[in-house]
Chains A and B, each alone.
Chain A
């Protein structure tokens, strides 16, 4: 089936060549990082996680959001998602792959990665995270590939696929819950030390991931003529809206608890991110941009007339994805380190090397997604003829 990815028009190959170039640049930047150490990044003793872990967090959310199509299609038999469901699953595959690569990129000794499995430590959240992520990757890849293969041959999918899909539904929730638990169990990192972190992770994931799925389906329609259906996109837009509202609501509750209680530890990170602290305010414009674009995109999506217009849908979905990418990536991860345990405010700017490695990993993920979706489109178009 994979051979279908080897046949494409000129623009397909230009796109592939572009992605390979980006990956190549990323790899050369990574070789520099392997040689000289993580000192080539903007991270340091006080802000010891940066762009990589931020991307990881965001992408696990994108991966988990596949459940937003899988659940209605398989559990509630919503036929309008028939064509979208495999796109969601393959997006989950490439997002999971990327999030694992970002963990690798962040490690000081990636050659010792298997130590996590050689010395299993159930008390460490990373151990569980690796288990759920690799399980999720396997489930989505195997089940959707088998489904597609059956569809191509015009036969029913094997019996084991359905149970695997059913397991993947609660598994998707667990994937992002464990990701939140990576942060939410640490004493002394007060921005993360909150019980609403896992619910907020799920809400922001379902908003941003679903919005991204709408955008991918529109790109597919534009580039290949394969249309997953306007109806499916509109229903997804409604789901993204509600998730986005839930996310903003949870952010609001964080603000209330922090600022009404006035406990310094609880409010300092939020204060730094949104208003600046001790004269330092590196992220203030970015955080307000994130908040305002998040609110604006939700307002647009809430209005049925605007939501139904493709132009407005693209604008709103892009703004929502960008808003959550800033909030969950930049804000949440970096904000957790500021102020430092010794009450110092240290600023962080990613280096060019770090940005190239990040783009390289995105390149790998998008290349994987392109190949998988190319096969999907080829199989579906063939069957339609």
Chain B
């Protein structure tokens, strides 16, 4: 009897050991698959640490807005962006926070020719957002590097480092930056968990959806546009769609005379 029971105990122990090891193996395998091999990752990521070091200036993300396709009254890109990034809606101009918005021709292009412009062009509305300038005055003015230029051309924000001095807002010639004059969390009506909310007293702006790019997704505005008026891509890649469109269309940038080299282009 005792020998049988001994055998059972031994078998149980072996089985336990087996299950333990298999589980560990599966866990390790899953971990490896999700992180180490980008093709098998659960969340699609481009993690340059794993394959190559980022080369500053190799990629320069840019956007082309075909304003001819942009429908009057449609605000789906604005809604998608502001929803995806927990942008508060205070419903007043003073406290307003906005990442992308629509405005008139003379507001978006105040230094472009304004005389005898066709009424159709004059009446259209135009998207305005951060230009992610190649020579960005805002990052130069920031005393803490809370706003900085990434290796891929995106002008990014570190909300935890920003001291709220608003020098970047004064330096930006496009009015693309917003300050959290009060706690934004009270004015986020349908919060998402995929992007952090901000605190009172810091500056924020469009991040060219760097949070979505790492997942292999297009920017929220680009994806949301029912007319496919927005093209997002690498300006440094001569074979990209955006470069092809830039070469075959007449386009313009906002206030090019200031030498900021905006990465957002417009077809009028």
Chain A residues proximal to chain B, CB less than 8 Å = 36-39, 43-46, 48-49, 103, 106-110, 112-113, 115-116, 118-119, 121, 123-127, 130, 182-183, 185-189, 265, 336-337, 340-344, 346
Does B1 touch A at the CB level, under 8 Å? no
A181 to B46, CA, bound (A): 41
Does B123 touch A at the CB level, under 8 Å? no
Check B141 against A124 for contact (C-beta < 8 Å): yes
Residues in A neighbouring B161, C-beta threshold 8 A? 112, 115, 119
* Residue of B165, B170, B182, B201 touching A189 (CB-CB under 8 A): B170
Check A187 against B163 for contact (C-beta < 8 Å): no
Does B191 touch A at the CB level, under 8 Å? no
Interface range on chain B (Cβ under 8 Å from partner)? 35 or more
Stretch at the interface among B75-83, B104-112, B245-253: B104-112
Q: Give min CB distance, A57 to chain B, whole Å.
A: 13
* Residue of A48, A106, A187, A336 touching B258 (CB-CB under 8 A): A187
* Residue of B108, B163, B199, B260 touching A342 (CB-CB under 8 A): B108
Check B201 against A109 for contact (C-beta < 8 Å): yes
Q: Give min CB distance, A199 to chain B, whole Å.
A: 21
Give the A-B contact count at a CB cut-off of 8 A.
Answer: 144
- When C-beta atoms are compared, the residue in chain A nearest to B95 turns out to be A39
A237 to B199, CA, bound (A): 50
From known contacts A121-B145, A342-B175, infer whether A108 and B95 are also in contact, taking CB-CB under 8 Å: no
Q: Give min CB distance, B160 to chain A, whole Å.
A: 9
Q: Give min CB distance, A128 to chain B, whole Å.
A: 9
Residues in B neighbouring A38, C-beta threshold 8 A? 164, 179, 181-182, 201
* Residue of A108, A116, A265 touching B201 (CB-CB under 8 A): A108
Residues in A neighbouring B173, C-beta threshold 8 A? 186-189, 341
A108 to B180, CA, bound (A): 8
Residues in B neighbouring A183, C-beta threshold 8 A? 170
Residues of B152-184 at the interface with A, using a CB-CB cut-off of 8 Å, are 161-167, 169-175, 178-183
Check B259 against A187 for contact (C-beta < 8 Å): yes
A124 to B136, CA, bound (A): 12
A-B contact pairs, 21 of them (CB 8 A): A39-B181, A43-B181, A44-B93, A44-B181, A48-B166, A49-B166, A107-B164, A109-B164, A119-B145, A121-B143, A123-B140, A126-B141, A127-B143, A183-B170, A187-B137, A187-B171, A188-B258, A189-B173, A340-B175, A341-B174, A343-B110
Check A49 against B170 for contact (C-beta < 8 Å): yes
- When C-beta atoms are compared, the residue in chain A nearest to B159 turns out to be A109
